[in-house]
Amino acid sequence: MTAVTAVADHEDQTEDGVPEGDDDRESSLPVADVSAKDASEGVHARVAGVDGAGDRSRTEGSTDTDDAWDDGLIARRVSETTGAEQAPMPVLETKAPSTQPVVPLAYDGALRSRLEALRELVGLSRTRLDSGTLAEAGRVLDEAAARRRLSGEHTVVAIAGATGSGKSMLFNALAGVAISETGVRRPTTAAPIACSWSDGAASLIDRLGIPGRLRRRPLQSPEAEAQLRGLVLVDLPDHDSAAVQHRQHVDRILALVDAVIWVVDPEKYADAILHERYLRPLAGHAEVMFVVLNQMDRLPGEAAHQVLDDLRRLLDEDGIALGEYGEPGATVLGLSALTGDGVGELRDALGQFVAERGAPGRRVRADLDTAAARLWPVYATRRGTGLSERAREEFTARLADAVGATAAGEAAERAWLRNANRACGTPWLRLWRWYQDRNEPPTGRLALAAPVDEEATARQRVEHAVRTLSDRASAGLPAPWAQAVREAAVRGAQGLPEALDELAARAGAPTGRPPRPGWWPAAVLAQASMTLLQVIGGLWLLGQIIGFMAPNLGVPVLLMVLGIVGGPAVEWGCRLAARGPARRYGLEAERRLWEAAAGCGRARVLDPVAAELLRYREVREQYGRVLGAARVG
């Protein structure tokens, strides 16, 4: 039986490789004779006859919907036999649109978790990192979301190579029909061409930006179709083409496909452009990469194995893992697209690769790994970060020292002792001290006005404390987060000296007389008794001198000696007893000022710095989820 052939003749190429004519028109296709037996078996075709003047008459037949297409692909079917005695006639086979729903791609739980973590990471980092740093991560998220909405039953594989590597010939060999133009003119392929082995790939090809006139559908034997079912093969322009738009096509589509077949030849397999611009940056994508050494028929004897081994060595230097001995990695093959040697092995590897339906997820995972690796300098650190309790205490101590907390406590202690001495001292000493201190501030009050130089010194101490704290807090952090910590500390330091001065005025110095302990009345009574003894003894002696009283020097002298000696003794005892309360009073004053300085420093500096450190810890945890690790750095 003569097979029905529907072959879309490759469009006439202009010098830049773009087909001539309207994009929506298709060239007339030669086809073999359609026998009556074929028609009786349900093989129908719409035949378009074209006369010399261009008039057309159409004969419409029914369409076969069992293997209908929905991709807008031009049909190509290889004839098993050709009727030599029958003249070819132009014909175009059409298929009804498919109604089979497209099954979207589904990522596994681990990959979904990593993508969600990356999305949260980008959201948390937008105010700390510039858009250029997060651009690659954003692109990965966008492309992963876009790919997930499309078919999960198809795998898009691009064939890339340098000028003259024979990638278009390999593309035709895999398709089983001459789809992509080959020739000695360089570059030959000017625009990407897509070839799909099954329905449902239209949206995937649309995503690549390949127009309908450059979409093909090889219809081969059922075995060949079943082997590569779900494959979408894309022939790319030369990546080293002199035409800039060709290289732009390559770079754009390589970022969108699920896998890539790199075709190299014995002359240019070590080309620096290939390895430095493409293979080395894509080293993490080894699991979705095939590297094919074409034109093996040109290498005599052992030279083929030597070149293939050298290619593996170069790939290893590029950091590309090789999928040998069952290990995951790139597949490296040697073949000849011209003679067909090794093409079957590549077709088998592609068939197994496509049947696994895992390439889209592996590609997204590799993109995610690459984006995470580029973000490593802005998230990871090799040392512990944060503020230790010791650093916080030292900062508070410096602020307290700047406002004179220790000096204020000592002044309060001295004021308490002075008041105790005045309250419990002898009247004669109190009178003398009152005379000396009548021009000084009242008892228990401290002068709050500080000299100008002391104020400048206090301000410098505050600035030094803030600078030291920010340096310790930012030590070991990646540069963007260290800068954020330092900026938070600087913002908090604005107005901090003035706020500390105000707090010192309110809480630092005690006002009024210090509180008196319970033993003060007894001490005052004892001191009054000693004074009374002195007065009685003196009056007694005076009465004896003027003859008012009988001479008796012993008793009055004894009373006066007791009063004179007892007064200072009571004062000395009170001074010893006052040291403990005075010390506690001074420490209480120092504590109030210390707490006031600590509260002000915490609110203005420590809390903002701690918030930045907490934000960094959050993003570091998210980055650990992106990497799939428990912790980073």
Task: List, for residues 449-476, the tens digit of each pLDDT value.
Answer: 445 555 667 778 888 888 998 888 888 8
- Strand bridging mode 74-77 / 29-31: unpaired
* Lowest pLDDT segment from 335-349, 373-387, 423-437: 423-437
Six token digits for residue 392? 């916080």
Among residues 513, 397, 380, which one has the least CA distance to residue 444?
A: 513
Q: What is the mean pLDDT of residues 255-277?
A: 94
Count the residues in the chain. 633
3-state SS of 308-326 is HHHHHHHHHHCCCCECCCC
Contact 199, 96 (CB under 8 A): no
Among residues 247, 287, 234, 240, which one has the least CA distance to residue 267?
A: 240
**Four-point Cα dihedral 585, 586, 587, 592, nearest 10:** 90
- When pLDDT is cut at 50, 70 and 90, the band that residue 401 belongs to is confident
Among residues 90, 96, 88, 92, which one has the least CA distance to residue 2?
A: 88
Per-residue b or e along 309-343, where b marks 16 or more CB atoms closer than 10 Å to that residue's CB: eebbebbeebebbbbeeeeeebbbbbbbbbeeebb
Return the top range by mean pLDDT from 53-62, 436-445, 580-589: 580-589
Among residues 582, 580, 570, 567, which one has the least CA distance to residue 418?
A: 582
Q: What is the mean pLDDT of residues 129-148?
A: 93
Between these two residues, 585 and 215, which has the higher pLDDT value? 215
- When pLDDT is cut at 50, 70 and 90, the band that residue 19 belongs to is very low
In the predicted structure, residue 29 carries a pLDDT above the cut 50: no
Category of 57 on φ-ψ map: left (φ > 0), alpha (ψ -120 to 50) or beta: beta
In the predicted structure, residue 162 carries a pLDDT above the cut 70: yes
Q: What is the mean pLDDT of residues 574-600?
A: 80
**Could you give the CA distance from residue 338 to residue 166 in angstroms, rounded to a whole number?**
9
Per-residue b or e along 99-112, where b marks 16 or more CB atoms closer than 10 Å to that residue's CB: eeebeebebeeebe
> 322 — phi, psi (to 5°)?
-100, 130
In the predicted structure, residue 266 carries a pLDDT above the cut 90: yes
Six token digits for residue 361? 């997820």
**Could you give the CA distance from residue 608 to residue 65 in angstroms, rounded to a whole number?**
68
Residue 300: count of CB within 10 angstroms of its CB: 7
- The SS3 call for residue 90 is strand
* Residue 585, amino acid: Y
- When pLDDT is cut at 50, 70 and 90, the band that residue 286 belongs to is very high
In the predicted structure, residue 521 carries a pLDDT above the cut 90: no
Q: Is 114 exposed, middle or buried (0-12, 13-18, 19+ CB in 10 A)?
A: buried
- Start-to-end C-alpha separation, the chain: 71
3-state SS of 247-288 is HHHHHHHHCCCCEEEEEECCCCCCCHHHHHHHHCCCHHHHHH
Give the single-character DSSP code of 19: B
Please provide the average confidence, as pLDDT, over all residues in the chain.
76
Expressed in percent and rounded to 5, the helix, strand and coil fractions of the chain are 55, 10, 35
Task: List, for residues 199-218, the tens digit of each pLDDT value.
Answer: 889 999 999 999 988 998 87
* Lowest pLDDT segment from 236-250, 322-336, 443-457: 443-457
3-state SS of 426-487 is CHHHHHHHHHHCCCCCCCCCCCCCCCHHHHHHHHHHHHHHHHHHHHHHHCCCCHHHHHHHHH
> What is the pLDDT, as a whole number, of residue 445?
46
> What is the pLDDT, as a whole number, of residue 194?
94
* Lowest pLDDT segment from 2-11, 247-256, 343-352, 463-472: 2-11
* Lowest pLDDT segment from 353-357, 589-593, 608-612: 589-593
Q: Which residues pair with 92 in a beta bridge?
A: 46
In the predicted structure, residue 184 carries a pLDDT above the cut 70: no
Q: Is 458 exposed, middle or buried (0-12, 13-18, 19+ CB in 10 A)?
A: buried
- When pLDDT is cut at 50, 70 and 90, the band that residue 396 belongs to is confident
Task: List, for residues 597-609, the tens digit of each pLDDT value.
Answer: 888 888 889 999 9
In the predicted structure, residue 92 carries a pLDDT above the cut 70: no
- Which is it for the CA torsion 460, 464, 467, 470, positive or negative? negative
Contact 68, 96 (CB under 8 A): yes
**Angle, alpha carbons 428-429-433 (nearest 5°):** 120
